[in-house]
Amino acid sequence: MKVLVTGGTGYIGSHTVVELLNLGHDVVIVDNLYNSQLDVLDKILKISNSKDLKFYEADCKDYEKLDEIFKLEKFDSIIHFAGYKAVGESVLKPLMYYDNNLNTTITLARLAEKYQIKNFIFSSSATVYGEQQSPLNENLELKTTSNPYGETKKMSERILSDFSKNNKDMHITLLRYFNPIGAHESGLIGEKPQGTPNNLMPYVTQVAKGIREKLFVFGNDYDTVDGTGVRDYIHVVDLAKGHIAALLNAHKGLNFYNLGSGIGTSVLELIQTFEKVNEIKVPFEIVDRRPGDLATVYADASKAKKELRWETKKTLEDMVKDSWFFEKNL
C-alpha cells in the first residue's frame, strides 16, 4: 500500500512511518520541517532497515504543490499529522493556528476526493471533548474547547464529517489522542521540541539532564489522588501502532476512536516513576494552576479495542525509560 504521511518527520509521524516501513508499506512523507529536522529521515531508515523512503519538503496548505505530488505518486491512503500543536502558542497566535490546521485538512480532503483516495486518517486530540467527566468515550457530545489548538481539531473533525457525507465510499478515521510520551527504544527518534517544551515529559527529561533547573508543577489542589493533574499517558510506539490498526481495519464512512491507555496517572506519579526507573532526581516546584487545565482526563478506549483490535502494550515504566534514553542520546 502506498501511504502519504503528512508531518512524517515529526514526533508521532516519524514513529508511525517506522511501523509502516516495518510492515512493508510504500511511504511518502510530505513535511515543511516547521517543527522537525531533516536528519530524522536517516534515523527512520536505520531503525526500519529500509532503503526506500520518499520525502517532499512542502507545505500542506499549498494545493498546487500537493496536486503535483498526488498526480505523481498515486497514493492509496493518507495519514494526516501535519499541523501546529502547541496549546500555549495557539492562544498567542490563534489566526496562525486556524489558518494552518484547517487549511491543511481542507487541501488534503480536496485532493483525496480528486484522486479518489479511499483511506483518510486524521490526527485529532482528546481536547475536542472539552471539560467533561472521565473516562471519555466517543459517544459524548463535544463541548467547548479551552484553546484555539483544540478548536482547530474539533473544527477539522466537523469539516471531515461534512466531507464524508458526500463521499460515502471513503474510509475516514478520526483518532483522538490522549497524552503521547516515550520514544523509540533505539533512542534515535523521540520528542525533540524547539525552544521551551510545551509538554510535560520533554521538560522532565531536560531537567533531569541539567538543561533546565527545575520542573514547574501547575497546581496541587485538584480533587485527585495527590492534588496534581491526572492524564492518560500513552507510549508513542503504541500510538503509532494505533494508526496501523486504523489503516488495516478501516470502516466505510466516518469513524472516530480514542487512542489512550484508559489509565489515569498524576503528575507526581509520573515524576516518581521517572525517578525510580531511571535512578535520577527531578527537582520540581509547585506553582499556581494554569487557566483551562482540567483535574482529570483519561480515555475509554474500548471502541478501538473492539473495532480496530488495538490496545496499548507498553507501561508507564517503558515510557519514562525510553524518554530518558532518547534525551541522553541527543
Angle value at C-alpha 264, between 150 and 241, nearest 5 degrees: 70
User: DSSP string spanning 38-102?
Assistant: TTHHHHHHHHHT-S--EEEE--TT-HHHHHHHHHHH--SEEEE--S---HHHHHH-HHHHHHHHH
User: Catalytic amino acids?
Assistant: 149
Residue in 261, 267, 253, 272 with CA at minimum distance from that of residue 301: 261
Environment class of 115 (CB within 10 Å of its CB; exposed 0-12, middle 13-18, buried 19+): middle
d(CA 320, CA 183): 9
Angle value at C-alpha 322, between 256 and 278, nearest 5 degrees: 135
Cβ atoms of residues 148 and 98 within 8 Å? yes
Cα 317 off chain centre by: 20
User: DSSP string spanning 161-219?
Assistant: HHHHHT-TTSEEEEEEE-EEE---TTSSS----SSS-SSHHHHHHHHHHTSSS-EEEE-
Residues in a beta bridge with 219: none
Contacts (Cβ under 8 Å, ≥6 apart) of 290? 218, 219
Cβ atoms of residues 169 and 181 within 8 Å? no
The helix-helix angle for 316-329 and 200-209 (nearest 10°) equals 50
